[in-house]
């Protein structure tokens, strides 16, 4: 379960997230949408401590991270939170100096202290799950964007997270490669993974998400069911945003 | 020419010392450089400052002055080092500063997303640096390091002033004995050139080896 309480984030004077409060129960799939610069990535990154929150608190599976925490407490909590969360980035961020299977094995060996052979078995299974078993020994640079992103998903899943965070996982992909990544994500959602997905894929958001968060100017402006949201957003901001997206 | 051939063993011995000093100083310089680079990028204010001041002093003073300070200067404080040891120490400290600059640039050239991906999988900052950032940074740093090392090879000629019989001093000793200059100076120039070329070649090979991805 994810809980944000009065969560704020500022860079110097610039307040990027403004007093966000919400609860995401386990197994829920949440799509976060909104205009560029509205704070979607920042929000996501505050959930696993890649950004330091400057106000309020975040709680991930009862690991409570407060803005007022001392550095030592904060690092400890963030470390625990990251054991429970996986993250997938827009630019994949695969390790270029490691093969596909080594990318997936790395954290198993370093963080979970598994033996190489155990890690290898686990990694091979995950690669099979994302349909890349025959790419185990190639380097990421030899893969298409869609394949790279699937490896990145396998890498995140290796740590057996309870929550998966996705930051525009398909935005860097050629249109014909988007589908294969969304398919893997849909399967994850169907298996009951708790997911927070920042995305511009409105159709995917509508069909795969249980809930839509529409962000603008660092706030969650709308929080609604996909059907209701896409049929008729409540706010003018969201209506304008959807109209713009639908132009394309 | 005959003089040179007759004295080749002596010159080779000089070349051996040149190479030895280069390799040993390079080795310790790499360690010092890596620690300094990490201190500058990830250390607290105290270590950052120390590292910055160190690099600034070394880069802002002539290596010859550094060498005589270590060899002659320290004697005032009762520290008497052998000439070779002094050479190792002075040159390691010297090259460490330049290596740290090469590493620092290379570490900064590794995209932030690499560290973030590693942290997101639960690695600590230290694990992310060791396992993900440094291996990539090393590859990026090879061309600038290559330049540093070839520069270093040539700089070892400085230690002739503290009576280490490396290449330059071997030639000087032979000159003092035979009263001819050019053959000896030319032969050591050729030897320096061969060593530099071999170095460059090896580094290129290492770079190729590391470029499998
Ligand atoms: N490191 C930073 N320093 C200063 N300002 C930042 C930093 N990172 C983000 N911001 C600012 O925070 C705001 C929100 O950025 P964020 O990346 O969260 O937006 P986003 O909704 O993810 O946008 P996009 O759809 O373009 O990815 C922007 O105005 C951005 O300029
Ligand atoms: Mg973003």
CA distances from B170 to B11, B63, B165 (A): 6, 21, 6
What dihedral angle (degrees, nearest 10) is formed by the CA atoms of B71, B73, B76, B80? Answer: -10
Q: Indicate if the pLDDT at residue B163 is higher than 90.
A: no
Residue A26 has pLDDT above 80, yes or no: yes
Query: Which of A72, A78, A93, A155 would you mutate first to test chain B, the one with the most B CBs within 10 A?
Result: A93
Q: What CATH number is attached to the domain comprising A21?
A: 3.40.50.300
pLDDT digits (tens, 9 = 90+) for B118-133: 999 999 999 999 999 9
pLDDT digits (tens, 9 = 90+) for A36-75: 999 999 999 999 999 999 999 999 999 999 999 999 999 9
- Ligand 1: distance of its center to the CA of A203 in Å? 24
The residue nearest atom 1 of ligand 1, judged by CA position, is: A11
The pLDDT value given to residue A248: 62
Give the residue-averaged pLDDT of B85-105.
95
What does the longest C-alpha to C-alpha distance in chain B come to? 70
Q: Which range of residues forms the domain containing residue A75?
A: 2-245
Report the distance separating Cα B98 and Cα B192, nearest Å.
21
Round the average pLDDT of chain A to a whole number and report it: 95
**Mean pLDDT along residues A217-226:** 95
The ipTM, to two decimals, is 0.94
Superfamily of domain B2-212 in the CATH hierarchy = MetI-like (1.10.3720.10)
Ligand 1 mutation target, pool A12, A42, A45, most atoms within 8 A of CB: A42
Q: For A103-134, what is each residue's pLDDT tens digit?
A: 999 999 999 999 999 999 999 999 999 999 99
Distance of residue A31 Cα from the nearest chain B Cα, in angstroms: 20
C-beta atoms of A82 and B122 within 8 A:
yes
Residue A150 contacts B where some CB pair is shorter than 8 Å: no
Mean local confidence (pLDDT), B91-115: 95
Taking CB atoms and an 8 Å cutoff, what residues of chain A touch B124?
A: 79
pLDDT at A219: 96
Q: Which pair of structure tokens corresponds to residue B60?
A: 């802002």
Can you give the residue ranges of every domain in chain B?
2-212
Nearest to B97 by CA among B3, B33, B192, B184: B33
What pTM, to 2 d.p., does this model score?
Answer: 0.87
Confidence of residue A88 (pLDDT cuts 50, 70, 90): very high
How open is the CA angle A80-A82-A84, to the nearest 5 degrees? 80
Nearest CA to ligand 1 atom 30: A37
Whether residues A97 and B135 touch (CB distance < 8 A) is answered with yes
pLDDT at B173 over 70: yes
Q: Looking at the CA of A220, which ligand is closest? A: 1
CB contact A95 to B (< 8 Å): yes
Phi, psi of A7 (to 5 degrees): -65, 125
Chain segment B31-72, per-residue pLDDT in tens:
999 999 999 998 899 999 999 999 999 999 999 999 999 999
Per-residue pLDDT reduced to its tens digit, A158-199: 999 999 999 999 999 999 999 999 999 999 999 999 999 999
Distance from CA of B158 to the nearest CA of A (A): 39
pLDDT at B206: 87
User: B100-131: string of b/e by CB count within 10 Å (b at 16+)?
Assistant: bbbbbebbeebeeebbbbbbbbbbeeebbbeb
Task: Give chain A's domain count.
Answer: 1
Record the tokens describing residue A194, joined without a space: 């708790």
Question: B87: helix, coil or strand?
Answer: helix
Q: For residue B211, is pLDDT > 80?
A: no
């Amino acid at each position: 379960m994810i809980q944000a309480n009065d969560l704020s984030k500022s860079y110097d004077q610039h307040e990027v997230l403004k007093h966000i409060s919400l609860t995401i129960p386990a197994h829920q799939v949440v799509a976060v949408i909104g205009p560029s610069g509205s704070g979607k990535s920042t929000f996501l990154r505050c959930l696993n401590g890649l950004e330091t929150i400057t106000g309020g608190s975040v709680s991930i599976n009862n690991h409570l991270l407060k803005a007022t925490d001392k550095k030592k407490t904060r690092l400890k909590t963030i470390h625990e939170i990251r054991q429970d969360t996986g993250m997938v980035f827009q630019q994949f961020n695969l390790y270029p100096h490691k093969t596909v299977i080594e990318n997936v094995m790395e954290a198993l060996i370093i963080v979970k202290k598994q033996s190489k052979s155990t890690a290898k078995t686990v990694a091979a299974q995950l690669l099979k799950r994302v349909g890349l078993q025959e790419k185990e020994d190639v380097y990421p640079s030899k893969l298409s964007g869609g394949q790279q992103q699937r490896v990145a998903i396998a890498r995140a899943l290796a740590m057996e997270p309870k929550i998966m965070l996705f930051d525009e996982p398909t935005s860097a992909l050629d249109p014909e490669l988007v589908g294969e990544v969304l398919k893997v994500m849909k399967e994850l959602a169907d298996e009951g993974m708790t997911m927070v997905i920042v995305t511009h894929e409105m159709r995917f958001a509508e069909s795969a998400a249980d809930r839509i968060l529409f962000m603008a100017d660092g706030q969650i402006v709308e929080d609604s069911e996909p059907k209701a949201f896409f049929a008729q957003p409540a706010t003018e901001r969201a209506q304008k945003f959807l109209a713009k997206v639908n132009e394309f | 020419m005959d003089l040179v051939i007759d004295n080749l063993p002596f010159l080779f011995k000089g070349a051996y010392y040149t190479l030895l000093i280069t390799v040993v100083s390079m080795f310790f310089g790499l360690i010092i450089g890596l620690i300094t680079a990490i201190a500058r990028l990830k250390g607290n204010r105290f270590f950052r400052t120390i590292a910055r001041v160190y690099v600034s002093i070394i880069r802002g003073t002539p290596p010859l002055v550094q060498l005589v300070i270590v060899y002659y200067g320290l004697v005032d404080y009762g520290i008497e080092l052998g000439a070779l040891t002094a050479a190792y120490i002075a040159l390691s400290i010297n090259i460490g500063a330049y290596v740290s600059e090469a590493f620092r640039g290379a570490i900064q050239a590794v995209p932030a997303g690499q560290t973030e991906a590693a942290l997101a999988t639960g690695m600590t900052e230290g694990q992310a640096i060791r396992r993900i950032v440094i291996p990539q940074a090393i590859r990026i740093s090879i061309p600038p390091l290559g330049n540093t090392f070839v520069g270093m090879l040539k700089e070892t000629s400085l230690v002739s002033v503290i009576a280490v019989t490396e290449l330059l001093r071997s030639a000087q000793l032979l000159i003092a004995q035979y009263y001819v200059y050019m053959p000896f100076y030319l032969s050591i120039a050729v030897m320096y050139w061969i060593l530099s070329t071999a170095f460059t070649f090896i580094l290129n090979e290492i770079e190729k080896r590391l470029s499998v991805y």
